[in-house]
């Protein structure tokens, strides 16, 4: 049987589409993100189906459609094309796409299509890392170069929650004045940080690219690089609500690495999908 979000049959008029993208080609250190879409969908029926903040059931208000988990070709360009096809279909059907990675490279598959549909596309990038290398381990298309490629397309990016970088990235961001909202900056002055974030998202069509390593590893231990000092749950929800209030047009959740023994990070990812849908449902209901 096909795996679906919350274990529910696909809603005939679904407004949210889950796009599993089990891509893992360029992962450098701890592997396993290929299993993430399957594991996230598998834990999702254990969520409560009622949202305690909005007092609604997103599966009733918006409805979910889940694409089957694909066998992606090893050729990364072909794999990204497959992801793009699903995103294109989703946008044509006026559904909200949630791409479930997989390594961060999947964002390139989304963005390629999104920029055809949206004139003022912007990427809100939540991540412990910048992913701005020119090249990584000999490849220009990689989880460590993804935002560099997007930057080169002329699409505005704001990287939020960054707390580690390499020297090449340090020099690059200085040279091009790449906008970064550092985790330290956020933790030291939350109000000011949120204002900067709001200034970025208040105009244009916003795509959220969420690397779960932006969370503190105590909250999301199942990631490739568990960088200390990350976002907590309520800080994240505040950011998510803020973006939904403006024009959030899609998102991805990437770099979950299911770990044996616990399902904390997979459950977190499923909960995020439920939360964003609840916030969107609330907005939808008030139209
Ligand atoms: Mn990262």
As to burial, measured by CB atoms within 10 angstroms (0-12 exposed, 13-18 middle, 19+ buried), residue 177 is exposed
| Cα(95) to centroid(ligand 1), Å | 27
Contact 21, 103 (CB under 8 A): no
| Cα(273) to centroid(ligand 1), Å | 19
Q: What pTM did the predictor assign? A: 0.97
| Cα(14) to centroid(ligand 1), Å | 31
Q: Which helix (H) or strand (E) holds 230?
A: none
| Cα(127) to centroid(ligand 1), Å | 5
Share of the chain above pLDDT 70, in %: 99
Contact 102, 33 (CB under 8 A): yes
28 pLDDT higher than 80: no
Q: For the segment 95-146, what is each residue's pLDDT rounded down to a tens digit?
A: 999 999 999 999 999 999 999 999 999 999 999 999 999 999 889 999 999 9
| Cα(129) to centroid(ligand 1), Å | 5
Q: For residue 102, give both structure tokens.
A: 């997989």
Contact 37, 76 (CB under 8 A): no
26 pLDDT higher than 80: no
The CATH architecture assigned to 5-285 reads 3-Layer(aba) Sandwich (3.40)
| Cα(144) to centroid(ligand 1), Å | 8
What is the DSSP-derived secondary structure letter of residue 18? Answer: E
| Cα(256) to centroid(ligand 1), Å | 10
| Cα(113) to centroid(ligand 1), Å | 23
27 pLDDT higher than 90: no
| Cα(211) to centroid(ligand 1), Å | 5
User: Which single residue is written with the structure tokens 């770990």?
Assistant: 259
Cβ count near 57 (within 10 Å): 17
**For residue 83, is the peptide bond before it cis, meaning its omega torsion is within 30 degrees of 0?**
no
Q: List the domain boundaries for the chain.
A: 5-285
Share of the chain above pLDDT 90, in %: 94
| Cα(55) to centroid(ligand 1), Å | 33
160 pLDDT higher than 90: yes
| Cα(61) to centroid(ligand 1), Å | 33
| Cα(219) to centroid(ligand 1), Å | 15
The whole-angstrom separation of Cα 253 and Cα 5 is 14
As to burial, measured by CB atoms within 10 angstroms (0-12 exposed, 13-18 middle, 19+ buried), residue 196 is middle
Q: Taken in order 36, 37, 42, 43, is the CA torsion positive or negative? A: positive
């Amino acid at each position: 049987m096909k795996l679906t979000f919350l274990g529910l049959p696909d809603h005939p008029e679904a407004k949210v589409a889950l796009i599993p993208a089990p891509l893992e080609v360029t992962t450098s250190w701890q592997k396993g993100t290929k299993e993430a879409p399957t594991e996230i969908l598998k834990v999702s029926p254990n969520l409560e189906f009622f949202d305690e903040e909005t007092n609604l059931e997103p599966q009733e208000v918006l409805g979910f459609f889940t694409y089957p988990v694909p066998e992606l070709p090893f050729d990364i360009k072909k794999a990204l094309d497959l992801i793009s096809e699903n995103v294109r279909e989703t946008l044509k059907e006026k559904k909200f796409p949630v791409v479930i990675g997989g390594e961060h490279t999947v964002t390139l598959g989304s963005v390629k299509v999104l920029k055809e549909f949206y004139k003022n596309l912007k990427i809100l990038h939540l991540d412990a890392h910048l992913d701005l290398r020119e090249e990584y381990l000999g490849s220009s298309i990689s989880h460590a170069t993804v935002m560099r490629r997007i930057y080169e397309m002329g699409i505005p990016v704001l990287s939020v929650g960054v707390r580690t970088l390499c020297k090449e990235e340090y020099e690059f961001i200085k040279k091009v004045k790449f906008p970064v909202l550092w985790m330290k900056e956020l933790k030291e002055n939350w109000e000011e940080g949120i204002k900067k974030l709001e200034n970025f998202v208040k105009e244009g069509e916003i795509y959220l690219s969420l690397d779960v390593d932006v969370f503190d590893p105590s909250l999301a231990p199942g990631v490739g690089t568990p960088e200390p000092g990350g976002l907590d749950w309520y800080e994240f929800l505040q950011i998510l609500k803020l973006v939904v209030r403006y024009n959030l047009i899609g998102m991805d959740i990437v770099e979950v690495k299911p770990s044996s023994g616990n399902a904390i990070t997979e459950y977190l990812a499923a909960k995020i999908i439920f939360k964003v849908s609840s916030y969107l449902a609330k907005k939808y209901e008030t139209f």
